[in-house]
Amino acid sequence: PHSTAVAVTAASNRAGNPYVQVTPASASPST
């Protein structure tokens, strides 16, 4: 699911959704 979360974050980032900030939080530790 880590890969999926990252992919969604990138796509959402382009949209500029505020909820996206919460998604990267999970990817942060992964990175």
Predicted confidence (pLDDT) per residue in 1-31, tens digit: 455 555 555 555 555 554 545 555 555 555 4
- pLDDT in the model for residue 10: 56
- pLDDT in the model for residue 11: 55
- Nearest residue to 10 (alpha-carbon basis) of 22, 25, 20: 20
Residues contacting 5, CB < 8 A, separation 6+: 23, 26, 27
Please give the tally of structural domains in the chain.
Answer: 1
- pLDDT in the model for residue 5: 54
- pLDDT in the model for residue 26: 53
Its domain, for residue 18, covers: 1-31
